[in-house]
């Protein structure tokens, strides 16, 4: 039942209760008591609306790290509000792959990734794996790998296979390749993977993942796919190639956006590009900067309402996707002072749905309102 429906029920019940309140005997008194009991039940239901309960037919996710899934306050909100989690960094290659031993075997450290997967399993929460291949998360030893290109490719194949196999049945989906297309271009980004494995490296990595777990959902994930037209064109050329070979299940739009852009119509148009290909849609890394130019020192009511409206736009577009193509909408962090935006850009900002004290913001209500 949506918030709007609950409020309608409450209004009707309160009117009926008032009609019976002046009668103190017999059936009328009993009916009045019954209505009061139902009203209390509906009020309790209204209070229990959460992000995941409001989203009836898609997962609501949040980015996490190993320390936070062990913290009692964070765990409380993760369990209460979300039914999917994504490791912000702990499941990337640089966190897991540590070297090669004297026998040529890869050395892994599963500590941080296991903590996250174990938390999800114990709380019946979906895990979206992020990300197997990313040009900004390459271990130092791999950057200086002195073997042949064929040996490099075998190493990557082994890595992807081992990670996906380890978490088979525990991870529901993977970003196989992250951010492969260059900015303001329709071509592959210059990267170590392109250099050592060739222009078909994305397809190869998707094939390795598909071979390791035929049932896990495989996604391509990137940023600025709403606003960068050239990048969007190149991305969907790549996606079409993967789809032709039955190697991709969905597309992730990172949704790192501003309070005043992109427009709802732009988000809708970009989303249509995924839907018309009959692929799953993941709004994968939602945060909304309210101070992108660094020109405010305090989080004003005006910016809070603008952020609320932008979140409502995003969730509204997502909610209107045909059910068959919905997967998840993931918020990139729980509360404002956890956000990567603060560190990356050096400005004060308040980009998430909860403030520093775990209090719901206007943006939280914008999420709920979009689902009424």
Q: Which pLDDT value is given to residue 21? A: 42
Q: Which pLDDT value is given to residue 372? A: 85
Q: List Cα–Cα distances, 367 to 86, 356, 361, in angstroms.
A: 19, 19, 10
- Catalytic residue, chosen from 136, 179, 195, 362, is 179
> Residues 352, 336: contact at Cβ < 8 Å?
yes
> Residues 239, 220: contact at Cβ < 8 Å?
yes
- Nearest-angstrom CA–CA distance, 178 and 252: 9
Q: Where are the domains of the chain?
A: 1-48, 50-369
Lowest mean pLDDT among 129-133, 184-188, 215-219, 346-350: 346-350
Q: Which pLDDT value is given to residue 48? A: 80
| Lookup result for tokens 């148009």 | 269
Higher pLDDT, 17 or 150: 150
Lowest mean pLDDT among 2-11, 107-116, 199-208: 2-11
- Catalytic residue, chosen from 88, 199, 285, 362, is 285
Mean predicted confidence (pLDDT) in 62-79: 98
pTM for this model (two decimals): 0.88
For the domain made up of 50-369, the CATH class stated in words is alpha beta
% of residues, the chain, pLDDT over 70: 87
362 is a catalytic site residue? no
- Nearest-angstrom CA–CA distance, 247 and 217: 9
> Per the structure block, which two tokens stand in for 161?
């296979």
121 is a catalytic site residue? no
pLDDT digit string (tens) for 211-257?
999 999 999 999 999 999 999 999 999 999 999 999 999 999 999 99
> Per the structure block, which two tokens stand in for 184?
């303001």
């Amino acid at each position: 039942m949506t918030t709007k429906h609950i409020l309608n029920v409450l209004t009707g019940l309160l009117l009926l209760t008032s009609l019976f309140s002046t009668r103190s005997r017999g059936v009328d008194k009993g009916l009045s008591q019954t209505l009061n009991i139902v009203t209390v039940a509906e009020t309790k239901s209204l209070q229990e609306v959460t992000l995941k309960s409001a989203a009836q037919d898609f997962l609501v996710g949040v980015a996490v790290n190993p320390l936070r899934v062990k913290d009692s306050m964070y765990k409380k909100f993760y369990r209460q509000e979300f039914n999917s989690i994504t490791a912000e960094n702990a499941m990337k290659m640089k966190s897991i792959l540590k070297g090669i031993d004297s026998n040529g075997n890869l050395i892994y450290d599963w500590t941080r990734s296991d903590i996250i997967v174990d938390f999800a399993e114990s709380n019946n929460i979906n895990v979206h794996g992020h990300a197997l291949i990313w040009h900004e998360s390459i271990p130092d030893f791999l950057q200086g790998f002195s073997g042949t290109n064929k040996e490099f490719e075998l190493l990557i194949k082994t890595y992807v296979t081992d990670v996906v196999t380890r978490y088979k049945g525990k991870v529901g989906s993977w970003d196989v390749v992250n951010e492969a297309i260059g900015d303001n271009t329709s071509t592959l980004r210059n990267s170590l993977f392109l250099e050592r494995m060739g222009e078909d490296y994305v397809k190869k990595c998707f094939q390795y993942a598909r071979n390791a777990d035929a049932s896990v959902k495989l996604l391509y994930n990137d940023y600025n796919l709403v606003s960068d037209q050239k990048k969007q064109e190149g991305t969907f050329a790549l996606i079409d190639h993967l789809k032709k070979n039955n190697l991709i299940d969905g597309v992730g739009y990172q949704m790192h956006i501003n309070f005043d852009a992109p427009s709802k119509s732009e988000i809708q148009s970009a989303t249509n590009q995924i839907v018309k290909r009959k692929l799953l849609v993941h709004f994968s890394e939602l945060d909304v900067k309210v101070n992108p130019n660094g020109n405010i020192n305090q989080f004003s009511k005006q910016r809070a309402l603008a952020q609320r409206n932008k979140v409502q736009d995003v969730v509204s577009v997502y909610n209107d996707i045909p059910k068959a193509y919905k997967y998840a909408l993931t918020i990139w962090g729980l509360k404002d002072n956890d956000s990567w935006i603060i560190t990356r850009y050096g400005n004060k900002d308040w980009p998430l749905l909860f403030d520093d004290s775990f209090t719901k913001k206007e943006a939280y209500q914008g999420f709920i309102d979009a689902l009424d």
